Chains A and B, each alone.
Chain A
Amino acid sequence: MKDELKKRIITGPDGFEFEVDPLNDYYCDAPPKVHPPAYVKIVEDLFNWARSESIWILGFGTGCGAIEMRPLMTPRFDAYRYGVQWRPTPRQSNLFIISGYLSVKTLKRVIRSYEQMQSPKYVIGLGSCTINGGMYWDSYNTIKKLDEYLPVDLYIAGCMPRPEALLKGFEDLKKIIRAGEGEGANIYAKNFDWYKANQKKVIQDWDMPDYNW
């Protein structure tokens, strides 16, 4: 753990001494809650329809697959037609695309970003590397099964899948959401301990709170 994250006593400019514990002071440490679909069915269906037609992607490219997402914004593929947009901050996004291989160092950032997203939230694993490690199957530094660490709604296989495959993936994700099966956030909250145990097994220096939104 880095020095600046350790609990320590600090003397202020006025000579007053106080204790600083960055992990508890800067983050919230409450576990995630299960948010049931609390509304009547027809309202929930309306919301699910809206969620499926307004997918906001977190602009975070974790691996080489990120290069396949860029053409989607261009005139040739133009994913905006389908209500797919990119947001620069995890707070406002609903969909996290793990684009390709995920190294352990990136996994740490991915977990933090994922937990900052607001439920309901979805995860797409893009490319073979997220499914079984792909060509990095014996690498010491990339994870092999994404669904051990995050609840994945959909995998898009390929190395790399073309942008068309991504568009098809969005359409399939829309079907999943409309059917009310895009409950990844609740699965994550329910099996929180299992996910955390898996995450901590590969992330050696866990220098953040267990839940850090």
Chain B
Amino acid sequence: MFEWMKIPYALLTLFIVVNYGLLMTALIAKIGARVGRRHGIPIYQNYIDLIKNYGLRSSITHGFMFYLGPVFRLTGGVGLILFVPIIYGSEVFSNFSFAGDLILALYFIFFGTLGMALGAGESGHPYAAIGISRGLSQVTMAELPLAMAVFAVALQYQTLSITDIVAAQQGGILNWTLFTNPFAVAAAMMSFLGSMMRPPFDVVLAPQEIPIGPPTEYHSSYLALMQTNRVIFPIAKIAIFMSLFFGGAASWPVFFLKVFLIYMVSVFVGVVFPRFRVEQSIRWFLIWAVPMGVLGLVWV
């Protein structure tokens, strides 16, 4: 029987995640600014930007898919959050998780990118088209090691349910997949770098080169939708990574801390390494990440 209380609970999860995401991305921008000895944006700047973009008076459209692009993207992020257990062992925050939710999560990670491709393609801007072709090839390539890592984990624990995977990792830090199957985790983290849109894999947006790639034509409410997604989606993705590889989280503070630390991995890599071109990043994934994934599978 379906429990109707799950719906408000899931919305509560969403609310917490959105606010956390807004604050965390601002905090990370602030940390980046501090590295450059600036003060950077105020911590609440993302809220203001959102209100402003929703409050703009005019907006234009380039067609039907142009509308749907940001909606698809947001669906990807929200869907990911709704179908993934966020807090392990909590009835309230396990959302709509079910036995095969790992497969659904994998699908949702890719879903937003596809929707964005259709929408941005319809905007007719050449930079959008370039960004899309780069983005799709790069994300597809990054997806391969991730899929391998996920298969390895599923094989290792003999289940497709994220809750069960988290349950198997309880009881000490050494039970985490990070230590029981380091190769799979390495492959997944490489894929994670590739899908975070930070250097060295940010040639899709490439602000100095093709300003700014797929979202070039998006504005006002469309852009606000995409901004909302941009704070939800990474967190949802990191939540999955955390559950699969880093032992999950049993309470919100642990969740916040782990998400922040995993996010910082991509930030650290991003400030150290320059940008890859698409063919370079694809080669990098093929040479380093995919063998890691294979090793991870063999390890199991």
Contact = CB atoms under 8 A, between A and B. Distances in A.
B37 A75 contact: yes
Interface in B17-57: 33, 36-42, 45, 48-49, 51-52, 55-57
Contacts of B217: 89, 91
Interface residues of A, number: 30
Nearest to B220: A118
Contacts of A37: 57
A116 to B, nearest CB: 9
A88 B216 CA distance: 8
A120 interface: yes
B58 A54 contact: no
Contact of A78 (B39, B56, B58, B59): B39
A87 B48 CA distance: 16
Contact of A54 (B48, B59, B216, B220): B48
Interface in A42-70: 46-47, 50-51, 53-54, 59
A75 to B, nearest CB: 4
Given A38-B57, A54-B48, A81-B39, 18 more contacts: A33-B58, A46-B51, A47-B52, A50-B48, A50-B51, A54-B49, A75-B36, A80-B38, A81-B38, A81-B41, A83-B48, A88-B207, A91-B217, A118-B56, A118-B60, A119-B56, A119-B57, A213-B60
Interface in A90-143: 91-92, 94, 118-120
B275 interface: no
A53 B59 contact: no
Interface residues of B, number: 29
Contacts of A187: none
Contacts of A78: 33, 38-40
B241 interface: no
A190 interface: no
B42 to A, nearest CB: 7
B216 to A, nearest CB: 5
Contacts of B211: 59, 88-89
B48 A118 contact: no
A197 interface: no
Contacts of A85: 41
Given A54-B49, A83-B42, A91 B56 contact: no
A87 B207 CA distance: 9
Nearest to B34: A75
Contact of A88 (B48, B59, B212, B223): B212
A35 interface: yes
A50 B52 contact: yes
A83 B43 CA distance: 10
A80 B57 contact: no
Contacts, number: 83
Interface string A161-194: 0000000000000000000000001000000000
Contacts of B218: 91-92
30 contacts: A37-B57, A47-B51, A47-B55, A50-B48, A50-B55, A53-B52, A54-B51, A59-B211, A74-B38, A75-B38, A78-B39, A78-B40, A80-B33, A80-B39, A80-B40, A81-B39, A83-B41, A88-B211, A88-B212, A88-B216, A89-B216, A92-B219, A118-B56, A118-B58, A118-B59, A119-B57, A119-B58, A185-B57, A185-B58, A213-B60
Contacts of A213: 60
Interface of A: 28, 33, 35, 37-38, 46-47, 50-51, 53-54, 59, 74-75, 78, 80-81, 83, 85, 87-89, 91-92, 94, 118-120, 185, 213
A171 to B, nearest CB: 15
A89 to B, nearest CB: 5
A120 B56 contact: yes
Contacts of A75: 36-38
B207 A54 contact: no
Contacts of A46: 51, 55
B219 to A, nearest CB: 4
